[in-house]
Amino acid sequence: MIYFKDGEFLNEDQIQVSADDRGYAFGDGVYEVIKVYDGKLYTAKEHLERLVESAEKIRINLPYTMEELTEIVESLQSENQLTLGHIYLQVTRGVAPRAHQFPENSVPVVMGYAVESQRPLQNLEMGAAMKSVEDMRWLRCDIKSLNLLGNVLAKQDAIEAGCQEALFVRDGLVTEGASSNVFGIKDGVLHTHPANHFILNGITRRVVLQLANELEIPVLEKEFTLAEALDMDEFFFTSTNAEITPVVMMDQQPIGQGVPGPLTRKLQSAFNRQIPQLTAAGHAEERESNGPAS
Ligand code: DCS
């Protein structure tokens, strides 16, 4: 695999990170995960704009322009000949002896790599299970920070309970998943948490809201309780890698009929239509089997 670090493309024998990197000591940095379908970056502009915003929010001056960042992720895709998977890109505040306050002259460290991965076809088709957990994260969940301890603990809790994703609940209200946004459908209306500091405004979330608009599905960006979530007709979570994953079980109770619902299927089909077409042999058929055609 070819990595990018500080202006260079390196292989795994060449890449080195410092023990004094503030990402390592404090999680003092931000990151993005950008999907690649059929060798093409998907919504890269939106992801890189969010990276710039996240960096600004924690007062890291990115050493690259949007154009340069775009070139970096495009090169990571091409250098690694990645057709299906994702690009990971992170920026830390830099290298300095460990002290909490910002170092005076540190230079941000930008590092990226490419990961080959399949789409989660089983979950997309059959649906997944969620477990609710207390949202004990900090109050700036809008920042895509490297500090993911709350998310890590929640995900592990869900996995140990035999679920695929955790459902964060803060003061009785559903916020998002451990690494996803969540949506419920009740009486034909799509419900999701408003994009404020309690959630990350996911790029997939934005795509889903756009698709709902095009499909004339009414949307309500308003908080709902865990009890209301359990009472939804349909439920799903979204992320760059999870796409639109139907949720059929929550806290061991079935959602709706316990199978992916019709509006979820409609959104999945619309989603599939706007991602770069997978031309590699086999993938086209897999895509077609991902839910009934609308
Ligand atoms: N909320 C949280 C807490 C996330 O970590 C993510 C993505 C999302 C929502 C969904 O955002 P996107 O739709 O922009 O992906 N998490 C990334 C991650 O850590 N791995 O893959 C995606």
pLDDT digit string, tens, across residues 33-69 = 999 999 999 999 999 999 999 999 999 999 999 999 9
In this prediction, what percent of the chain has a pLDDT beyond 70? 94
Q: What does the pLDDT read at residue 279?
A: 59
Q: Is 243 in the pocket of ligand 1 (CB under 6 A)?
A: no
Pocket test for ligand 1, best of 180, 183, 196, 238 (most atoms within 8 A of CB): 180
Give the Å distance between the CA of 180 and the centre of ligand 1: 5
The residue-averaged pLDDT of 224-228 equals 98
Per-residue pLDDT tens digits for 95-105: 999 999 999 99
For the chain, give the mean pLDDT: 95
**Residues facing 86 on adjacent strands:** 35, 115
Judged against a pLDDT cut of 90, whether residue 84 lies above it is answered with yes
Judged against a pLDDT cut of 70, whether residue 287 lies above it is answered with no
Q: What does the pLDDT read at residue 277?
A: 83
Tell me the DSSP string of 119-146: --HHHHHH-EEEEEEE----S-TTS-BS
Query: What are the distances in angstroms from CA 128 to CA 64, 151, 246?
Result: 39, 18, 6
Q: Could you give the CA distance from residue 99 to residue 103 in angstroms, rounded to a whole number? A: 8
Query: What are the distances in angstroms from CA 87 to CA 113, 240, 246, 275?
Result: 6, 11, 24, 16
Give the Å distance between the CA of 168 and the centre of ligand 1: 13
The residue-averaged pLDDT of 97-125 equals 97
The residue-averaged pLDDT of 126-131 equals 98
- Residue nearest (by alpha carbon) to ligand 1 atom 2: 179
Sheet holding 2-5, edge to edge: 8-11, 2-5, 109-116, 85-92, 29-37, 40-41
Of residues 217 and 290, more confidence is placed in 217
Give the Å distance between the CA of 97 and the centre of ligand 1: 31
Contact 143, 199 (CB under 8 A): no
> What are the domain boundaries of the chain?
2-116, 121-293
Catalytic residue among 144, 155, 186, 266: 144
Judged against a pLDDT cut of 70, whether residue 207 lies above it is answered with yes
Q: Is 234 in the pocket of ligand 1 (CB under 6 A)?
A: no
Q: Is 145 in the pocket of ligand 1 (CB under 6 A)?
A: no
Q: What does the pLDDT read at residue 278?
A: 67
Give the Å distance between the CA of 289 and the centre of ligand 1: 25
Contact 128, 255 (CB under 8 A): no
Q: Is 164 in the pocket of ligand 1 (CB under 6 A)?
A: no
Check if 144 is active-site.
yes
What is the gyration radius of the CA atoms in the chain, in angstroms? 19
> Is domain 121-293 classified as CATH 3.20.10.10?
yes
Class of domain 2-116: alpha beta
Pocket test for ligand 1, best of 30, 31, 32, 33 (most atoms within 8 A of CB): 33
Judged against a pLDDT cut of 60, whether residue 31 lies above it is answered with yes
Q: Is 179 in the pocket of ligand 1 (CB under 6 A)?
A: yes
* Banded model confidence at residue 257, pLDDT cuts 50, 70, 90: very high
Judged against a pLDDT cut of 50, whether residue 286 lies above it is answered with no
Give the Å distance between the CA of 263 and the centre of ligand 1: 22
